[in-house]
A and B are shown apart, each in its own frame.
Chain A
Amino acid sequence: MTLSSALLCLRGVVTREALRFVNQRGRFLSALVRPLVWLFIFAAGFRSVLGVSIIPPYETYVLYEEYIAPGLLGMILLFNGMQSSLSMVYDREMGSMRTLLVSPLPRWYLLLCKLLAGVSVAIVQAFVFMCIAWFWEVRPPVIGYFLLVPALLLGGLMLGAMGLMLSSMIKQLENFAGVMNFVIFPMFFASSALYPLWRIRDSSQLLYWICTYNPFTYAVELIRFAMYGKLHVMAMLVVAACTTVFMAAAVIGYDPLRGFLSRKDGGAPSKK
């Protein structure tokens, strides 16, 4: 693999993902409407119910809308990661995934390109969300907007890699509904996205324990701190480690010799 062929491949995969995204306006709108509904309705309703004390990275009391904004950015990344893996399962069933996998580049690199393409789209969505949220008084310092990029990138890579790993295990598109119920919702709700961890500990020690082992919590905290110009080292390390593990599992999953795809009917083309 030469550098030029690697860059051309990356350009091809990212361009395709962007074109598909532009062509599917409904996907863009639904990806945006979901967190905005949470911000406009859920946060407004719970503003007076849920008090948020001064906890890092905040230096003063903040509105509940401001507290859940990083969680909603995490939600965009989470749903986008799952959307990408859904499209991988769809592409595999429809056949277009094979075009990618028979390209003369290492499989790990092809999967990385696919991952980066999905995350690029998610970052655009996240910034459109932040622009709208500005009018809802979610106004982090200017430096926060710049630091959000690497935080969103790393968080998006982790959630995208998790989606890739899941897509290598899912045999048929119909099974994907299970992922929604067993992965996305538990990950989102059992995290610090909607409530601070100390609040959760007050109500349930078990739930608190689950939240502290949920990688999504660390992605949200990484974003939260970056948004206020700070670095949460522990969150960054956990997210980086989880990204590596999920990506390695995805590469093994897509390996024709060792992976889930080599098993009977495991995403195989129709047998002849």
Chain B
Amino acid sequence: MTEDLALDVDQVSFSYGNTQALNKVCLQVPESGFVALLGANGAGKSTLFSIITGLYSAQQGTVSVKGHALRTDTLNALSKMGVVFQRPTVDMDLSVIQNLRYAADLQGIPTAEAKNRIALGLEQHELTGFEKRKVGALSGGQRRRVELARALLHRPALLLLDEPTVGLDLQSRSNFVAHVKSLCADIGTGVLWATHLLDEVVTDDDVYILDKGLMVEHGTVVELVKKHNVDDITAVFNSIVVREAS
């Protein structure tokens, strides 16, 4: 457990009854680093997210965020993370600014400070002019930006994104990935990006591959492509999934 890491997942196991969802999974996100977690549907990504966010409790192993153990120092660990869940969690009936104020209150950000941060967040996420619009009236890409603005409002050391681009068109997906990478690099936030869409990772990204609850590969895209002697990360992923399935 070290403070140099934004996230340290160590030997985490979890099962639903007799079904083993995660088996001794290890994963690390360095400070300001971008880590992609790849896995097919049913690989265990959302279960791992639920454990990291404290919604589930790991049956074995430990999770720590910026050196704070989730099990024993829960509130400090949670205060260091921002989360964008797979399914939208913003309130569609409330306006953009009402959703952001709600998030600021939950994070304990004083009113005056929250006002400044919300104004900055609206600008950073290109939401200026949409403050009073109900989230339900926004496009899919804009809603995701509201979620992102909300997740970063308290300036977390770790940003978790669970399949954040599901349901977005290709252009919106690509814009969203670029936006997150550039913004988090600027503000020094470590990112864990879970996806099954392989075109969202690029050559120098640090990649973990989760398959049937096991962490089967880890390395940069270049390293993995070289190791498996294939052309790209899609071929790496397919070779692992096919090999595991056979």
> Which A residues contact B (CB, under 8 angstroms)?
1-2, 4-5, 8-9, 11-13, 15-16, 19-20, 23-24, 94-96, 98-106, 256-257, 261-265, 268-272
Contact count A vs B, C-beta below 8 Å: 127
In the bound complex, residues from chain B placing their C-beta under 8 Å from that of A271 are 16, 21, 42, 44, 46-47
Smallest beta-carbon distance B143→chain A, Å? 12
In the bound complex, residues from chain B placing their C-beta under 8 Å from that of A94 are 87-89
CB contact list, B19-78 vs A, under 8 A:
19, 21, 39, 41-47, 49-50, 53-57, 75-76, 78
In the bound complex, residues from chain A placing their C-beta under 8 Å from that of B102 are 12, 15-16
Interface residues on B, range: 35 or more
Smallest beta-carbon distance B181→chain A, Å? 22
In the bound complex, residues from chain A placing their C-beta under 8 Å from that of B85 are 95, 98, 269
Q: Quick check: B56 and A262 within 8 Å, CB to CB?
A: yes
| Complex CA–CA separation, A100 to B46 (angstroms) | 18
Smallest beta-carbon distance A171→chain B, Å? 13
In the bound complex, residues from chain B placing their C-beta under 8 Å from that of A96 are 89-91
Q: Quick check: A269 and B86 within 8 Å, CB to CB?
A: yes
Q: Select from chain B the residue with minimum beta-carbon distance to A255.
A: B57
Q: Quick check: A20 and B93 within 8 Å, CB to CB?
A: yes
Q: Quick check: B46 and A264 within 8 Å, CB to CB?
A: no
Can you list the 5 inter-chain pairs with the closest CB atoms, starting with the nearest?
A12-B105, A5-B108, A104-B79, A272-B46, A264-B16
Q: Quick check: A256 and B56 within 8 Å, CB to CB?
A: yes
| Complex CA–CA separation, A211 to B79 (angstroms) | 47
* CB-CB under 8 A for A104 and B101, given A269-B46, A269-B85: no
Q: B110 at interface (Cβ–Cβ under 8 A)?
A: yes
In the bound complex, residues from chain B placing their C-beta under 8 Å from that of A23 are 93-94
Q: Quick check: A98 and B17 within 8 Å, CB to CB?
A: no
Extra 12 A-B pairs, beta carbons < 8 Å, given A16-B91, A102-B83: A1-B75, A15-B102, A23-B93, A96-B89, A98-B83, A101-B55, A102-B81, A256-B54, A265-B16, A269-B55, A271-B44, A272-B43
Q: B109 at interface (Cβ–Cβ under 8 A)?
A: yes
Q: List 9 A-B contacts (CB under 8 A).
A: A8-B108, A13-B106, A16-B91, A20-B91, A96-B91, A98-B53, A98-B85, A104-B76, A272-B39
Smallest beta-carbon distance B86→chain A, Å? 7
| Complex CA–CA separation, A8 to B114 (angstroms) | 11
Smallest beta-carbon distance A170→chain B, Å? 17
Smallest beta-carbon distance A132→chain B, Å? 27
In the bound complex, residues from chain B placing their C-beta under 8 Å from that of A263 are 16
Q: Quick check: A102 and B42 within 8 Å, CB to CB?
A: no
Q: B124 at interface (Cβ–Cβ under 8 A)?
A: no
Q: Quick check: B39 and A16 within 8 Å, CB to CB?
A: no
Q: B98 at interface (Cβ–Cβ under 8 A)?
A: yes
Q: Quick check: A100 and B43 within 8 Å, CB to CB?
A: no
Q: B103 at interface (Cβ–Cβ under 8 A)?
A: yes
Q: Quick check: A264 and B17 within 8 Å, CB to CB?
A: yes
Smallest beta-carbon distance B212→chain A, Å? 12
Q: B203 at interface (Cβ–Cβ under 8 A)?
A: no
| Complex CA–CA separation, A15 to B91 (angstroms) | 13
| Complex CA–CA separation, A5 to B194 (angstroms) | 31
Q: Select from chain B the residue with minimum beta-carbon distance to A103.
A: B106
